[in-house]
């Protein structure tokens, strides 16, 4: 028998020849391919699994990565809406101007114990941009950092580690900037050295000004600490390089998907923020009976999605920008909005390869991925200044981007008070002609909009209800300003031959009814603040109908006019008749000469309030406006307790503080 391992057959020779031929082809044509890659216009080749973040290549050993790439600064962010992440990127850019090299990282992707190893890097600095979410909670991506800090890092010491913290919060909330304060406190306890005072940004006032003022203190302090020149170079740093493509296969271009290419067409669970469910809008009806305002009741079908929700949770909507604004930007800049392009990070070691899913078109970027309706931030104005051909316009932009008092005042008046978004600035500064790719780089990301769910899965297991007021107003410059999400929903009207859809996901909340159905509750929710309480009431209705004993439910609701905007009036009255709602107190603020709000009704019913809170161990919930209503309700509760319990103001405050700490006083508020 022949030795089969020692001989080559005809087939073997053919295979070897084929491989050799491919090798020769590769060597000959590779140079041509490399030469063509330097041109701006390319034929597109893209992997269908292209994602926004480089999670595969981003090592959890961030210190090793910093050492290998000559970096001495790292910026970690805790972000729920994208602002903290945006501020982190701006800080990393600033570091370059002072001769340092920085990287931005998500703490969720880092091995936190490695923070102690920063001591091995000369002139090290770790900066935290930390937002506070809800009732003093960390953002989703900072949960592990929160736990690590509360455990004091498992005993690690941070001697010879330098740090700075900027917190993002809102003074109308009870636990203002709790996460930023916690990070600062714990890092000091662990031995780290604070380089500059804790920065506290207030989103209720002007968080942009707070941030700019803080970082103007940060860099001189850092330079002094490291004994380096504190003079910043006046350079514009581009983070991304643009490539435009021709003859692109449509199936390889992102069309609004948050992460995975084709995810909105080829739906695969589990569904979450990076992979939303394309839900059908099955109901969209008007709740107001007249007047010049509009409030929508929208029902979203989640059947078959495996999405689960509880009363008190939030539903997020990926809305799109108004096509009028998108077309306006394209027309003003004289560009073809349907050009396919990619923005790729020039830093190959960066954790984020693209600012948003790429490749895509300029139209898609402006429609789905970029915030084009908010007032511009100062860093955007500074970058835009280099494109101003008129010297006066350039000076104005640079002045507003500066930290001078004159610049801050001008920015506050011309940008914030007049609510100038990108198109408004372009229209009011005719000489401004920015490159569209640079504009796409510096504009903030469009974030999903969150709504308190106004239904219960006990009655509606396959549908999520939304209660939303249409946002529509005129700016001081006589421009129409529309709410991105509410106008998006307004146009989603189901018809016999048309089934509108919207990308959604569920965000869990701590805003929950007591575990025992027999526990009494007080609910205070004027306007659309009634949304989660409608779900709570439906929960209790289902429990009562199932024969379970249910506790007292007292609702304080408020609106302007009984005949116009009394939301869910018939439904609420039915719940009263059924015995689910024990009491229904409604304040109509403008049906009489003197305005009446929910806090006035709380004072009128102070005996009931004090009895439920003190003797019946009731839970109290507040939903709605944080700036005025929530504060006034809290004051009314204090006064009720002072009057009925004969307490001092301090005793009443301490009692309410105890209720909060025990989870008996919960707020779902916004400003």
pLDDT reported for residue 205? 87
At which residue do the structure tokens 């700016």 appear?
A: 475
Q: Please name the residue that has the structure tokens 């391919």.
A: 33
For residues 408-422, give the mean pLDDT: 97
Residue 52 has pLDDT above 70, yes or no: no
- Which H or E element spans position 573? helix 569-578
Q: Is 39 annotated as a binding residue?
A: no
CA-based nearest residue to 384, from 396, 368, 367: 396
Reference 656, options 607, 611, 604, 619; nearest CA is 619
User: For position 290, which CATH number holds?
Assistant: 2.40.30.10
Residue 42 belongs to some domain of the structure: no
| Same domain flag for 196 and 276 | no
What count of residues does the chain have?
671
Overall average pLDDT of the 300-322 stretch: 98
Residue 275 near residue 268 (C-beta atoms within 8 A): yes
Other residues' Cβ atoms within 10 Å of the Cβ of residue 586 = 17
- The residue behind tokens 């990282």 is 105
Beta bridge partners, 467, equal 297
Of these residues, 295, 559, 623, 667, which one is catalytic?
623
Could you give the percent of the chain with pLDDT greater than 90? 83
pLDDT-based confidence at residue 60 (cuts at 50, 70, 90):
low
Q: Is 286 found in the same domain as 210? A: no
In a shared domain, residues 169 and 124 = yes
285 and 347, same domain (yes or no): no
Do the annotations mark residue 551 as ligand-binding? no
Domain annotation covers residue 140: yes
Please compute the mean of the pLDDT values over residues 123-146 and round it to a whole number.
93
Domain extent for 592? 521-669
Active site residue 295: no
139 annotated ligand binder: no
Measure the CA–CA gap between 360 and 467, rounded to whole angstroms.
33
In a domain, 252, yes or no: no
pLDDT at site 670: 85
Kindly report the number of other CB atoms within 10 A of residue 258's CB atom. Answer: 22
- Residue-level pLDDT at 348: 84
Q: 465 and 452 in one domain?
A: yes
pLDDT confidence tier of residue 25, bands split at 50, 70 and 90? very low
Contact partners, residue 195, CB within 8 Å, separation at least 6: 125, 162, 163, 164, 218, 221, 222, 225
In a domain, 27, yes or no: no
Catalytic (active site) residue 670: yes
Q: Are residues 284 and 363 in the same domain?
A: no
* 443 annotated ligand-binding residue: no
Residue 380 marked as a ligand binder: no
* pLDDT band for position 136 (cuts 50, 70, 90): confident
163 is in an annotated binding site: no
Q: Judge if 632 and 529 occupy the same domain.
A: yes
- Residue 94 shares a structural domain with residue 189: yes
In this structure, are 563 and 608 located in the same domain? Answer: yes
Phi-psi category of residue 376: left, alpha or beta, with phi > 0 → left and psi -120 to 50 → alpha? beta
Span 255-293, pLDDT tens digits: 999 999 999 999 999 999 999 999 999 999 999 999 999
Confidence at 207, pLDDT banded by 50, 70, 90: very high
Q: In terms of pLDDT, which residue wins out, 99 or 458?
A: 458
Q: pLDDT at residue 626 above 70?
A: yes
Please count the structural domains in the chain: 4
Question: Across the chain, which distance is largest between two alpha carbons, in Å?
Answer: 112
In the numeric block, the tokens 């207030």 are attached to 202
pLDDT of the residue at 174: 80
pLDDT of residue 134: 76
Domain boundary among 226, 253, 275: 226
573 domain-assigned: yes
Check whether 294 is labelled as a binding-site residue: no
Instruction: Please report whether residue 649 resides in a domain.
Output: yes
Q: How far is CA 179 from CA 192, 210, 373, 647, 667, in A?
A: 17, 17, 29, 33, 18
Q: What is the pLDDT of residues 105-127, one digit of tens each?
A: 999 999 999 999 999 999 999 99
Catalytic residue among 305, 402, 452, 454: 452
Q: What region, left, alpha or beta, does residue 617 occupy, with left being phi > 0 and alpha being psi -120 to 50 degrees?
A: left
Run of H or E including 85: helix 83-97
- How much is the pLDDT for 352? 87
Q: Is the pLDDT at 40 greater than 60, yes or no?
A: no
Residues 434 and 287 in one domain: no
Domain stops at, among 444, 461, 479: 444
Question: Does the pLDDT value for residue 37 go beyond 50?
Answer: no
What CATH number is attached to the domain comprising 534? Answer: 3.40.50.80
Tell whether 641 is covered by a domain.
Answer: yes
174 appears as a binding residue in the annotation: yes
Identify whether residues 493 and 627 lie together within a single domain. no
With CA atoms as reference, report the closest residue to 150 among 161, 140, 141, 142: 142
CATH number at residue 390: 1.20.990.10
Mean pLDDT of the chain: 90
**Residue-by-residue DSSP string for 304-368:** TS-----TT-EEEE-----HHHHHHHHHHHT--TT-EEEEEES-TT-SBS-SSSSSEEHHHIIII
Say whether 203 counts as a known binding-site residue: yes
Residue 499 has pLDDT above 80, yes or no: yes
For residue range 322-336, list pLDDT tens digits in order.
999 999 999 999 999
* Pairing relationship of beta strands 619-625 and 665-670 according to DSSP bridges: parallel
Q: Is 473 a catalytic residue?
A: no
Among 344-348, 477-481, 549-553, 631-635, the least confident range: 344-348
pLDDT for 231 beyond 50: yes
| Verdict on whether the full-model pTM lies above 0.85 | yes
| Domain end residue (candidates: 444, 471, 490) | 444
Question: Which DSSP symbol is given to 605?
Answer: T
- 80 marked ligand binding residue: yes
What pLDDT is attached to residue 232? 74
525 sits in the region (left: phi over 0; alpha: psi -120 to 50; else beta) called beta
Per-residue pLDDT band for 453 (boundaries 50, 70, 90) equals: very high
Separation of alpha carbons 102 and 74, rounded Å: 5
Distance CA 565, CA 574 (A): 18
Let me know whether 275 and 421 are in one domain. Answer: no
Q: Which of 294, 322, 591, 670 is catalytic?
A: 670
Task: Cis check for the bond before 367: say yes or no (omega within 30 of 0).
Answer: no
425 belongs to an annotated ligand binding site: no
User: Does residue 373 belong to any structural domain of this protein?
Assistant: yes
358 given a catalytic annotation: no
């Amino acid at each position: 028998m022949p030795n089969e391992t020692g001989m080559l057959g005809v087939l073997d020779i053919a295979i070897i020849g084929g491989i050799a031929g491919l090798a020769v082809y590769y060597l000959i044509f590779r140079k041509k391919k490399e030469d063509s890659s330097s041109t701006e216009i390319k034929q597109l080749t893209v992997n269908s699994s292209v994602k926004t973040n480089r999670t595969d290549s981003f090592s959890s050993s961030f210190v090793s990565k910093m050492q290998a790439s000559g970096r001495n600064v790292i910026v970690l962010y805790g972000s729920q809406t994208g602002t903290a992440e945006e501020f982190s990127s701006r800080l990393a850019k600033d570091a370059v101007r002072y001769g340092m090299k920085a990287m931005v990282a998500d703490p969720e992707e880092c091995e936190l114990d490695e923070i102690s190893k920063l001591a091995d890097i000369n002139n090290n600095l770790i900066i935290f941009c930390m937002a506070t979410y809800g009732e003093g909670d960390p953002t989703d991506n900072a949960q592990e950092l929160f736990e690590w800090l509360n455990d004091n890092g498992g005993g690690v010491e941070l001697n010879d580690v330098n740090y700075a913290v900027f917190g993002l919060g809102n003074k109308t909330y009870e636990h203002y900037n709790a996460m930023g304060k916690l990070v600062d406190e714990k890092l000091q306890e662990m031995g780290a050295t604070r380089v500059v005072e804790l920065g506290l940004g207030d989103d209720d006032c002007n968080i942009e000004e707070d941030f700019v003022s803080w970082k103007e203190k940060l860099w001189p302090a850092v330079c002094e600490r490291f004994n380096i020149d504190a003079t910043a170079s006046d350079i514009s740093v581009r983070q991304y390089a643009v490539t435009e493509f021709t003859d692109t296969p449509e199936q390889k271009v992102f069309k609004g998907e948050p992460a995975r290419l084709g995810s909105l067409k080829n739906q695969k669970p589990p569904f979450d923020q990076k992979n939303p469910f394309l839900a059908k809008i099955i109901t969209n009806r008007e709740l107001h009976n007249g007047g010049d305002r509009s409030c929508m009741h929208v029902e979203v079908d989640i059947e078959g999605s495996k999405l689960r929700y509880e009363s008190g949770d939030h539903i997020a909507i990926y809305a799109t920008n108004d096509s009028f604004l998108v077309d306006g930007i394209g027309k003003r800049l004289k560009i073809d909005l349907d050009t396919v392009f990619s923005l790729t990070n020039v830093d190959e070691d960066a954790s984020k390869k693209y600012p948003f899913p790429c490749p895509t078109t300029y139209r898609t970027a402006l429609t789905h991925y970029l915030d084009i309706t908010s007032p511009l931030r100062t860093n955007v104005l500074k970058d835009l200044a280099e494109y101003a051909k008129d010297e006066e316009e350039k000076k104005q932009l640079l002045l507003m981007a500066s930290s001078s008092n004159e610049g801050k005042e001008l920015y506050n008046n011309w940008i914030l008070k007049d609510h100038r978004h990108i198109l408004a600035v372009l229209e009011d500064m005719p000489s401004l002609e920015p490159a569209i790719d640079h504009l796409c780089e510096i504009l903030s990301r469009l974030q999903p909009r969150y709504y308190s769910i106004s239904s219960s899965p006990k009655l509606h297991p396959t549908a999520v209800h939304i209660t939303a007021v249409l946002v529509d107003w005129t700016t001081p410059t006589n421009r129409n300003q529309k709410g991105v999400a509410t106008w998006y929903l307004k146009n989603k009207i189901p018809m016999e031959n048309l089934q509108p859809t919207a990308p959604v996901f569920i965000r869990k909340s701590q805003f929950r009814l007591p575990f025992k159905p027999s526990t009494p509750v007080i609910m205070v929710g004027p306007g659309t603040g009634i949304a989660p309480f409608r779900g709570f009431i439906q929960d209790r209705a289902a429990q009562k109908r199932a024969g379970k004993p249910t506790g007292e439910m007292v609702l304080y609701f408020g609106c302007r006019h009984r005949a116009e905007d009394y939301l869910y009036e018939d439904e609420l009255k039915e719940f009263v008749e059924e015995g689910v709602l024990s009491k229904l107190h409604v304040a109509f603020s403008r049906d009489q000469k003197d305005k009446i709000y929910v806090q006035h009704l709380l004072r009128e019913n102070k005996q009931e309030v004090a009895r439920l809170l003190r003797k019946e161990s009731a839970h109290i919930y507040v939903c709605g406006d944080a700036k005025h209503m929530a504060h006034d309700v809290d004051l009314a509760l204090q006064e009720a307790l002072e009057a009925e319990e004969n307490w001092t103001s301090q005793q009443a405050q301490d009692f309410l503080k105890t209720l909060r700490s025990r989870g008996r006083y919960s707020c779902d508020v916004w400003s």
